[in-house]
Amino acid sequence: RKSCAWHCPRSGQICSSQRFSRKQQQLEQHITKTNTVMKSSISSSLFVIATFLLTSMTEAGRASMEKPKLPEGFCPPETGDVTATTGECMCHWQHKNGCVGSGCQYQMGLSWYHYSCKDCRCIAES
């Protein structure tokens, strides 16, 4: 008979190659299960982190729900409309010349100004 024995560290006994083979299979199965659990855990953690970051970014871009206190005579209805929450006057004439003043904005085809601009006003379409 061929001697294929090794020393078992737990029991201190000499283990046969068959027993070694069975132990090796059990160890490989345990490692496979552990790897599967770890992959699942990492995937779950990444999902939670991604969801948190996306929610945070979405909330950061939202306007305040409270309406600001606007100055008297801000944004006459004949030439513009006041936004509900941001305190801006959207000029009816959507042109780069639709607003005059130091704080006028013309972006993405919209002409507007913020209530903090004291010398801004919308002008009627000409």
Percent of the chain with pLDDT over 70: 78
Coil/strand/helix, residue 106: strand
Q: Which residue has the higher pLDDT, 100 or 4?
A: 100
pLDDT of residue 60: 63
| Confidence grade of residue 19 (pLDDT, cut at 50, 70, 90) | low
- 26: its two tokens: 């059990």
- pLDDT tens for 28-87 read 877 887 777 777 788 888 888 888 887 776 666 666 677 788 888 899 999 999 998 888
Count the neighbouring beta carbons within 10 Å of the beta carbon of residue 108.
Answer: 6
pLDDT of residue 100: 95
Q: Quote the CA–CA distance of 106 and 19 in Å, as a whole number.
A: 80
pTM (2 decimals)?
0.50
Main-chain phi, psi angles of 55, to 5 degrees: -65, -40
